[in-house]
Structure 1
Amino acid sequence: MSRFGSLRVRTASYVVVMTPAAVESPAGLIITGCTVLPHDDQERIGCAEDAAVVVRDGTC
């Protein structure tokens, strides 16, 4: 875990479960090579570097 200002950043692995419908639908936008701050269902924030963000139907 690193500290950035007053924000504690946790480096954790996140698993994204994709439904078959999500995998089969085309992406409207793909952003690659970025750093993102994903959060889990308990609102814990992590840091993922060199991530890809896929947008389908206006939703990430």
Structure 2
Amino acid sequence: MPRALNPVTALLKWPLVAVTLLGFLGLLALQSFSLPDELPRAAIERLLGVDIAPNTPSPPAHPLP
């Protein structure tokens, strides 16, 4: 006896598969373009010029009056 699918589930299944596949291909591309012993953060910054964790100024040790 086949199970009836919810229309929302059927509608969202293929976009979810497409996004997952694109993410996997992106990770595969990042790995293939990385230099030996290079961390993913350094590879993203080198390849794309994007710093994914920019340095933020630390809060002052003493609050200003």
TM-score range normalised by the length of the shorter chain: under 0.3
Normalised by the length of structure 2, the TM-score is: 0.18
Q: Which has more helix, going by share of residues?
A: 2
Greater strand proportion: 1
TM-score normalized with structure 1 length: 0.19
